[in-house]
Structure 1
Amino acid sequence: MSTQGMVEGKVVVVTGAGGGIGRDIALAMAREGAKVVVNDIGASVSGEGNDAGPAQKVVDEIKALGGEAAANTDSVSDVVAAGRIIQTALDTFGRIDVVVNNAGILRDRFFHKMSLDEWDAVIKVHLYGAYYVSRAAANHFKEQGSGNYIHMTSTSGLIGNFGQANYAAAKLGVAALSKSIALDMQKFNVRSNCIAPFAWSRMIGSIPTETDAEKARVERIKQMTPAKIAPLAVCLASDVSADTNGQIFAVRNNEIFLISQPRPVRSVHRSEGWTPQSVAAHALPALKASYFDLDRSGDVFTWDPI
């Protein structure tokens, strides 16, 4: 282990860290000197089942590196269980410095076919989960006058995608949650930022590969390993990035993006006010040149990752 890592001595909770992006973030944090709580319920991509194995396996990997880690198998989607995740950090390491909200599931379905259960399950894990775990740490952060949140959002929410109303709504909600935390808690020296990761993982392993073009696309995506996300997460967790707060980043292979946040792009004004008819005759035609296309993430990120 390095004697002076970027997050030396910090206690970091990483949810959903039994595999994929979470695992690589947990390992990278440990390599840079953090003590890590590895949370994972060991469920399938759709959230079914539980297995203590994945979390413990990552803990064993960290200990093999000479680091310190503890496993936790509580669900982020239950408020009491989420509290136990943070309590594991306090009981094991005596404090909490960084929360990485990474746990997630998918229940993809076109909107007109989506069931209440498919909506509920995804919102519960991504949005409620990020809130529950963040809230459980908030008072500790306030009392110690420091703390750091890193949330995983998605271009499915920031931009759009087919068949993911539940996931997209949750992930855009996470971005707003992060900004609200940043605003409310900056006076306590607490920061909150988001990362939208592009990475090959179990969660996108169901992409169809029936045509040569689809197979080629999947091979390109596979270059975007979860390990590519970890350097930004570690840097955001460190004191080096003390002036970075309330931001949204994306990572795609070797690219790091700062993502825009909604701002007015054009306006129209009538001193006498508006009627439905004048909105139709004047406002919408004047604004139409600045309308946004019905983009999906892939329409915006059109070039191959390098």
Structure 2
Amino acid sequence: MGICEGRTVIITGAGGGLGRAYALAFAAEGANVVVNDIGASLEGEGRDTSAADNVVATINEAGQGRAIANYEDVTDWDATARLVKAAIDEFGDLHVVVNNAGIVRDRMFVSATLDEWDATMHVHLRGHFCTARHAVDYWRTKSKDGRDPDARIINTTSGAGLQGSMAQAAYSTAKGGIAALTLVQAAELGRYGITANALAPAARTRMTEQAFAEKMATDGDAFDVMDPANVAPAVVWLGSTESRDVTGCVFELEGGQIMLEDGWREGPHVDKGARWDPANVGDAVSKLLAERVPPRKVWGT
């Protein structure tokens, strides 16, 4: 038996890349998988059901786990209610939501447009909210009825959201918001038997091949560090019953590396015990900057 035997998982954006790798890995560990993907372009345009259908066919042909396709838009409140209902109707329960769907609108900040900004926030932030919010309603009801939901929210942030990335102001902002959302979900939802964690995966996908072509090219290497399948085992474990004591964490995953992010925390400080004179603030800040742990550089600098 796999570590997710009988558990039901919704994975958004599961038609390709990381989402596809997650779906196959969950199914291999005995999970029931709802493969959600609208089949849009990187820019969020168009619709094509074949991507989700192909993943489902691969799972069902392998005979490990069970899978159904779903084509609902994760930014649509009513559609995501139908997505959650479809999982429960088909498999009788829901245990895990993996928020993976996303788009990119790469642009230097001075050239960014309002429409690009709004589209990025809509898919990443609203998209992370809608499916999880409906799932939480279901799990909260189970908890109040005395049935332990033992549930998981697994969000997708990014190195861009944790340290910033040149030409990705909107994407970095949205992904940083997802990391903060994860902390709040973990703090609020534990009482209902729900954990919330986030991933910052580095792997070869349509998005990363476009933004970081040189880094993603690992042809000829003994170990394909950028294979999306490398990220999947940690995601599957987070979705299993074995991870019930892990919540409020952000993991960076790349190749064979699992890194736990340390997060924002208080650094060096100075307290005058009285109001500062503006002319004296500069010296105090210089002292603090000299004492701090140097931050990671913004990607691309």
TM over 0.5, shorter chain: yes
Question: 1:26 is matched with which residue?
Answer: 23
What do residues 77-98 of structure 1 show as CA deviations (whole Å, max 9, x unaligned)? 1212222211210221122110
Helix, strand or coil: the match of 2:153?
strand
Distance, in Å, in 1 between the alignment partners of 2:197 and 2:44 is: 25
**Within the alignment, does 1:60 sit opposite 2:57 as a pair?**
yes
1:304 equivalent in structure 2:
none
Task: Quote how far apart the aligned CAs of 1:287 are.
Answer: 1.2
Choose which of 127, 130, 134 in structure 2 pairs with 1:129: 127
- Encode CA deviations 1:106-139: one digit per residue, 9 max, x unaligned: 1100011111111111111111100111101011
The more displaced of 187-196 and 285-294 is: 285-294
* Structure 2 counterpart of 1:99: 97
Structure 1 residue ranges, 4+ long, deviating more than 4 angstroms after superposition? 291-294
Give 1:113-192 correspondences, 5 Å limit: 113-145=111-143, 146=149, 147-192=151-196
Structure-to-structure mapping, 1:206-217, within 5 angstroms: 206-207=210-211, 214=214, 217=215
TM-score, length-scaled by structure 2: 0.92
SS in 2 for 1:249: strand
**In structure 1, what is the Cα distance between the partners aligned to 2:205 and 2:260?**
22
User: Could you tell me which amino acid in structure 2 is paired with residue 77 of structure 1?
Assistant: T
Separation of aligned partners in 1, 2:14 and 2:156: 12
State the match for 1:237 in structure 2: 239
Match of 2:146 in 1: none
Label 1:36 to 1:264 Cα distance change in 2 as closer, same or farther (>3 A): same
Secondary structure, aligned partner of 2:44? coil
RMSD value, Cα? 1.7
Aligned residue for 2:39? 42
Q: From the superposition, tell whether residues 192 and 294 of structure 1 become closer, same or farther in structure 2 (CA, over 3 Å).
A: closer
Residues in 2 aligned to 1:257 and 1:199: alpha-carbon distance in whole angstroms = 15
In 1, Cα distance between equivalents of 2:212 and 2:199? 26
Aligned residue number for residue 88 of structure 1 = 86
Conserved 8 A contact 2:166-2:299: no
Q: Match for 1:167: what amino acid? A: Y
CA contact (8 A) 2:198 2:250 kept: yes
How far 1:223 sits from its partner (Å)? 3.6
CA gap 1:208/1:131 in 2 versus in 1, 3 angstroms: closer
Q: Contact 1:10/1:35 (CA < 8 Å) preserved in 2?
A: yes
Residue 226 of structure 1 aligns with which residue? Answer: 228
Which residue of the partner structure matches residue 250 of structure 1?
252
**1:181-216 CA deviation, whole Å, 9 max, x = no partner?**
11001111110001100001111222476xxxx4xx
Contact map agreement 1:82 1:129 (CA 8 A) in 2: no
Letter in 2 for 1:134: A
> Letter of the aligned partner of 1:144 in structure 2?
K
User: What is the TM-score when the length of structure 1 is the normalising length?
Assistant: 0.90
Report percent identity of matched pairs.
Answer: 41
Deviation at 1:297, TM superposition (A): 3.9
Q: Distance in 2 between matches of 1:218 and 1:17?
A: 20
Query: 1:243 and 1:269, CA in 2 relative to 1: closer, same or farther beyond 3 A?
Result: same
SS at match of 2:177: helix
Stretch deviating more after TM superposition (4-13 or 288-297)? 288-297
**What count of residue pairs does the alignment treat as equivalent?**
289
**Is contact 2:204-2:228 (8 Å) kept?**
yes
Counterpart position of 1:295: 297
Q: Secondary structure, in 3 states, of the residue corresponding to 1:206?
A: helix
Could you say which residue in structure 2 is the equivalent of 1:284? Answer: 285
Describe the superposition over 1:234-272 as per-residue Cα deviations: whole angstroms up to 9, x where unpaired. Answer: 000111111110000011111110011100111011022
Which is further off, 36-45 or 270-279? 270-279
Deviation at 1:291, TM superposition (A): 7.1
**Structure 2 unmatched ranges of 5 or more:** 144-148
Separation in 1, partners of 2:186, 2:267: 24
Give structure 1 stretches of 5+ with no counterpart: 300-306
Name the CA distance, whole Å, in 2 between partners of 1:179 and 1:187: 14
- Please say if residues 18 and 38 of structure 1, whose CA atoms lie closer than 8 Å, have aligned partners that are also in contact: yes
